[in-house]
Amino acid sequence: MPSHESIIHTAARLQHATQPKVSFMLYVSLASTKNAMRLFRVISKTIWDQTQQLGYVPRCGNDHKLDCVHLNVEEAVLFIANKYFTYEEAPLVLEIDDARFNDFIEWLPPSDEQPWMQPRAHIGNLPQAAIITATPLSYRDGLFGWENDEQ
């Protein structure tokens, strides 16, 4: 059986299907898959410390600019960490329970640079109560990776 990510990736590429029946079937498959996806957010240790004090994850500059909270699917986490964070920032990966705001998530289609669905939550801030886990990333040979993975 294909993974949730491959179903979403395929559905996004076929979203312009010309037959209404095919489009509807892809929509149903995509909608049910999205509800089962694990969502994440990568933040710095400094932002994590602020989250502990504030009770929510402060928005980053891009969140303010686009008036949404950017989230990630699992396959995007290391890309985001390696593109936007430095070793000194000691990034953590937050696994998110989106049950409270699932209806406010917009799913952008994959792009050439980011070939996966891109979730954006149209909420004020990401509440600390929505954080399931906060996991530091390992850093080796100039790259971030999952703590227990061989890079």
- For residue 13, which of 107, 112, 109 has the smallest C-alpha distance? 109
pLDDT recorded at residue 25 = 40
pLDDT recorded at residue 142 = 95
10-residue averages of pLDDT along the chain (151 residues)? 45 46 42 69 98 97 96 97 97 97 96 95 98 97 84 47
pTM of the model: 0.76
3-state secondary structure at position 136: strand
- The rounded distance, in Å, linking the Cα atoms of 138 and 93 is 11
pLDDT recorded at residue 149 = 65
pLDDT recorded at residue 147 = 80
pLDDT recorded at residue 148 = 74
